[in-house]
């Protein structure tokens, strides 16, 4: 099937994203308008210490207008390898380095409207590093067991989809490791 873009108009050019309005020709010959948010890719890490405790960050998210509990994450710099970005963001956000970083998957976070793709990693064998959040990031670090984190998902205390995906992926990851 071919969905040809007939016209594309830049509607907004911001600091971290661009918004286009595209006129698209559908396979049946009709046309439709699609709005598209262009945003860079990101990494998200599930940091787990030797006792199996997961590290989270709590930070203000303006779209939600509140503090949100999340796994550490951040944008991939232009031309940067996702794994390198994961190591960098982990240390920046929680002040820890991972001796072992395992790629889990990548996924689009809002595929209906946005180009942003997130690469997920499990971070293990954590060692002290240097906390270095961005100047506009005020981050609180929290730790929970996997069972506590799963419970928080179903209690509505974790509302961020990448965090839900990371927790569930880690639960499956440790389940598969125990089967070996």
pTM above 0.75, yes or no: yes
Return the pLDDT at 64.
Answer: 94
Measured CA to CA in angstroms, residue 53 lies from 8, 21, 125 at distances of 47, 44, 12
Q: Cα dihedral sign for 133, 139, 143, 145?
A: negative
All structural domains of the chain, each given as residue ranges with its CATH number in brackets, are: 4-38 (no CATH), 42-178 (3.90.79.10)
H/E stretch holding 101: strand 96-108
Cα angle vertex 92, ends 164, 167, to 5°? 15
Q: Cα dihedral sign for 65, 90, 14, 24?
A: negative
Q: What are the tokens at 39?
A: 């945003």
Alpha carbons 129 and 66: distance in angstroms, whole number? 28
Number of H helices, E strands in the chain: 3, 10
Q: Which residues of the chain have pLDDT under 70?
A: 1, 178-180
- Note the helical H segments in the chain: 82-94, 146-154, 161-178
Return the pLDDT at 30.
Answer: 94
Q: Could you report the per-residue pLDDT of 7-58, keeping only the tens digit for each? A: 999 999 999 999 999 999 999 999 999 999 999 999 999 999 999 999 999 9
Return the pLDDT at 179.
Answer: 62
């Amino acid at each position: 099937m071919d969905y040809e873009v007939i016209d594309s108009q830049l509607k907004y050019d911001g600091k971290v994203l661009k918004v286009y309005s595209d006129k698209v020709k559908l396979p049946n010959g009709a046309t439709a308008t699609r709005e598209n948010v262009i945003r860079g890719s990101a990494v998200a890490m599930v940091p787990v210490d030797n006792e199996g405790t997961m590290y989270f960050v709590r930070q203000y998210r303006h779209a939600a207008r509140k503090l949100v509990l999340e796994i550490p994450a951040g944008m991939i710099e232009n031309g940067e390898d996702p794994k390198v970005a994961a190591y960098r963001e982990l240390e920046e956000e929680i002040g820890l380095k991972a001796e072992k970083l395992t790629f889990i998957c990548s996924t689009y976070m809002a595929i209906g409207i946005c180009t942003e793709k997130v690469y997920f990693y499990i971070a293990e064998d954590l060692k002290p590093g240097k906390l270095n959040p961005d100047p506009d990031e005020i981050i609180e670090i929290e730790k929970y067991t996997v069972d506590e984190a799963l419970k928080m998902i179903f209690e509505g205390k974790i509302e961020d989809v990448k965090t839900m995906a990371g927790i569930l992926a880690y639960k499956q990851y440790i389940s598969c490791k125990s089967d070996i």
